[in-house]
Amino acid sequence: MMGIYQIQNTENNKKYVGKSSNIEARWKQHLKELSENKHVNRLLQKDYDIYGKEVFDFEVLEIVKDKNDLLLKEKQYINALEDGSSYNLSDKFVGNKIYTNMGPKPKTEEQIRIQSLVKKLLKEIKYPFKK
């Protein structure tokens, strides 16, 4: 089943909205990552660690037939959430993707290129005579 889903914390009513071409598998993936303390969304992980699995409800918000509509539908649901009630971005979606709560992973080719250069320079500074 393809579509938009929501994970809701029943203790604080915060919600995480996501999209998937296989919602059931995605839910299982969320649970696995959360239980292993490896979820990319730090806010969701923190509350999972505090409250436990029992307080999180999973709900399918909309079944989407065309895969090309998934991103737009996801953006609409996220943008409809009240400020402060979301595990999703602290900022609303702008452009393609901005994952401010998702950690330090680079999102664009330019960011990846810059990060790679910085790492290389730091290595050279730390070990200037190592060949």
Quote the CA–CA distance of 58 and 41 in Å, as a whole number.
16
Quote the CA–CA distance of 15 and 11 in Å, as a whole number.
11
- What pLDDT band is residue 127 in, cutting at 50, 70 and 90? low
Query: pLDDT tens digits, residue range 3-31?
Result: 999 999 999 999 999 999 999 999 999 99
- What pLDDT band is residue 66 in, cutting at 50, 70 and 90? very high
Q: Which fold has domain 3-102?
A: GIY-YIG endonuclease (3.40.1440)
- What pLDDT band is residue 89 in, cutting at 50, 70 and 90? low
